[in-house]
Amino acid sequence: MAKRIDLHIHTNISDGVLTPKQVIDEAVKNGVSVIAIADHDTIDAYDDNLFKYAESKNVEIINAVEISTKINKAGIHVLGYNYNLNDMKFKEQLSKIRNSRHDYLRNVAIKLSELGYIVNVEELDKIEAVTKAHIALDIINNEKNRDNLINNFGHIPNKGEFIETIMNENCPAYVKKEQITPKEAAEMIRGAGGKVVLAHPVAYVHEDNLTDKDILKIVEDMKPDGIEANYIYVDRNNQIFDETKKWNEFAKENNLLVTIGSDFHNKDGIRPEIGLINTSLILEDNIIENILKNLSK
């Protein structure tokens, strides 16, 4: 069986559904030997017990994080790898970003309520790294919102459709979040001794209509070590885009390392699962070894 790694996985500490240990169990089941948990703006998944559990299952963990940032045209995610887990300044910076999420929750809930949606703010506020996805799922899964959703969408939307139609920029419940830039996130990660990777550039092209020139400008500004070139994107209409060849070529042209990630949150039968086992994306062992070597330098 081909070697598999997955360097972009979410847990229930941010907006995934599995606990960190369940992620490891799923990795074992899927034949994945190296993983990175990249929760949004939090590194709370990482403790001694997790590393010991992973070791007992013969799974290697590379510590990671996915930091939410903003440019004029879009929200951009920045991945950090192999930073110092004990860097207090880095932890404080992430905490500040997470706190801004809760301010956002309360402000966006007002707008959503004005649109007739019921938002369980009290419960959502208990989630440390609360995201748009948490808020959207809370609304979609609340039976009291059913009639309003069907009236507005003609069906019950998935979380991506709800976010892109109701919550994103130029949408009726848009609220500007206090966010840092990709360059500032990159500086945070480097300050903690980590490697900087621009997450899923393919997503910004299809979600935010950024051009390749826009992506290049982001790269030139933030100066990442690499990009997440090996990534299967699924849009809000469940259309699948495999543009890995294009982004690997982009990386080569711009002297960037590449990574691979499923961006796993939950099993929905469509999006990549841990290890991308339900996709045709398989990397040769020498490419995998090169990715791991580049992230460890």
Instruction: Choose among 295, 277, 106: nearest CA to 195.
Output: 295
Number of domains in the chain: 2
Residues 257 and 215 in one domain: yes
Which letter does DSSP use for residue 276 in this model?
G
Residue with tokens 């469940």: 238
Q: What is the pLDDT of residue 297?
A: 66
pLDDT, tens digit (0-9, with 9 covering 90-100), for 285-297: 999 999 999 998 6
In angstroms, rounded to a whole number, what is the distance separating the alpha carbons of residues 128 and 113? 22
Question: Per-residue pLDDT tens for 87-115?
Answer: 999 999 999 998 888 899 999 999 999 99
Task: Tell me, yes or no, whether 225 and 282 share the same domain.
Answer: yes
159/199 same-domain check: no
**What range does the domain containing 116 cover?**
94-167
294 vs 246: CA distance, rounded Å: 20
Assess if residue 244 is contained within a domain. yes
- Determine phi and psi for 70, rounding to 5 degrees: -145, 135
Q: Is 78 found in the same domain as 190? A: yes
The DSSP result for 137-171, as a single string, is: HHHHT-GGGHHHHHHHHSS---HHHHIIIIISTTS
Rounded CA-CA distance 84/87 in Å is 5
Dihedral sign for Cα atoms in the order 102, 175, 166, 163? negative
Q: Identify the pLDDT of residue 33.
A: 97
Domain boundary among 167, 190, 212: 167
Say how far apart CA 244 and CA 228 lie, in whole Å.
Answer: 9
Do 144 and 278 fall within a single domain? Answer: no
Give the residues of the chain that fall short of pLDDT 70: 1-2, 297
Same domain, 277 and 187: yes
Residue 8: phi, psi to the nearest 5? -155, 90
Within this chain, do residues 55 and 201 fall inside the same structural domain, yes or no? Answer: yes
The answer to whether residue 174 is domain-embedded is: no
pLDDT for the residue numbered 237: 87
Q: Bridge partners of 40? A: 66
Task: Please give the Cα distance from 52 to 57 (Å, whole number).
Answer: 9
- Contact between 197 and 225 under an 8 Å Cβ cutoff? The reply is yes
**Number of other residues whose CB lies within 10 A of the CB of residue 219:** 19
One domain, residues 245 and 98: no
Do 194 and 144 have their domain in common? no
Residue 151 counted as domain residue: yes
- Per-residue pLDDT at 1: 56
CA distances from 93 to 4, 36, 158 (A): 32, 20, 32
Q: Examine the fold and report which residue of 133, 167, 201 is the final residue of a domain before the chain moves on.
A: 167
- Are 104 and 227 in contact by the 8 Å Cβ rule? The answer is no
